[in-house]
Amino acid sequence: MNQLVRPSIQARHLVGRANDRRRASFAPVVIGFGIWAVGCALLQLGWIETLFLFAPLVVVPLGLGLRRYEAASPCLNWLRPVGAGLLFPSLALEQGPVAALLSVPWLVATVPTAVAAARNRVVGWRSLDSDFLFDLGCVFLTIGAAGLVVQRAGLQPMGLPHVINLLFAVHYHYAGFGLSTLAGALSASRRSPRLETLAGTASISAVLLLAIAIGLAEWLAPVAAVWMAATGGTIAIMQLRHAPGFGHPVRELLLVSGVAGVLAMPLGAAYGLRALEPFAWLTIPWMASVHGTVNSFGFVLAGLVGWSLVRREDQSRA
């Protein structure tokens, strides 16, 4: 009798531990969302700053959880939320040395993962795969964090306006880290992910091209914006195509993400084409309110939550 009971108890114990791991993995995201909501309500920051803060506190923990070999040290697990939390006073204060100093811990928190990602590419170089997309996303994250330090210091590289420098940091947190991670998760979910990996690699090239256009070659902006919209839209359409193959609620989350991406990307292309065809209504505040909101909460957030649920389900089966 005892021999028959023990396996059942052990099975329940293993299931319980799997559920505990799933709850624990989402804990930083839930805590980060709470900090973001309360902090933004108290400080009444601008919408661009509000969207940016959502990335370190919610998007980044979700995205890093999708990496197959993400194993942060306890010190780094503490540094990330502390660094993200210090961005509130950094963005609330006037630009200057104090604001820049408060943004440095977030930059420091992103460096170890970026270094590990770069080492993976240099030491264990393989053909393009989902890990390549995840790794490049982590490198982009550090670039975006460095850009924020520069912006909070009040510096203006190449004479760019302060708001453009802030949007540079936003771009590398969402289009850089967020989109690359979505593409990596999409690629990892397929048995033959050649097209998905190619689309993700194309989106990485678009992120880099758009940054070059903003800082060094303004004449490239129309091409870069259209390429960014095309590659991001392709990933959104691929999610729409594969979403019906998943169960509830992953299917709905990927559908929301795909639809949001299809809606947001043409707006980005239109904004980049203003030099050729002026759109008076496409102002930076309007783009932040509409394009930024749809892209951040619809495309990136819904997609990362959906792929995180897929990842947790795979872990529970292992």
Alpha-carbon 298 to chain mean position? 12
Alpha-carbon 148 to chain mean position? 15
Number of neighbours of residue 276 by Cβ within 10 angstroms: 8
Residue-level pLDDT at 3: 40
Question: pLDDT of 224-267, one tens digit each?
Answer: 999 999 999 999 999 999 999 999 899 999 999 999 999 999 99
- Eight-state DSSP code of residue 94: P
Axis crossing angle, helix 179-188 with helix 130-152, rounded to the nearest 10: 170
Q: Which residues contact 97 (CB under 8 A, 6 or more apart)?
A: 153
Q: Is residue 152 a contact partner of residue 95, using CB atoms and an 8 Å limit? A: yes
Residue-level pLDDT at 167: 92
Residue 21 has pLDDT above 70, yes or no: no
Question: pLDDT of 163-220, one tens digit each?
Answer: 989 999 999 999 999 999 999 999 998 888 888 999 999 999 999 998 888 777 778 8
CA dist 24 and 20 (Å) reads 6
Class of domain 22-317: mainly alpha
Residue-level pLDDT at 193: 83
User: Considering Cα of 304, then 71, then 106, then 149, what sign does the dihedral take?
Assistant: negative
Domain map of the chain by residue range?
22-317
State whether residue 2 is helix, strand or coil: helix
Rounded to whole angstroms, what are the CA distances from 38 to 34, 50, 64, 231, 247? 6, 11, 23, 35, 33
Residue-level pLDDT at 123: 72
Nearest partner of 182 among 242, 125, 225, 224, judged by Cα: 242
Residue-level pLDDT at 251: 95
Q: DSSP assignment of 237-280, as one string?
A: HHHHHHGGGS-TTHHHHHHHHHHHHHHHHHHHHHHHGGGTS--T
Mean pLDDT score of the chain: 86
Residue-level pLDDT at 139: 94
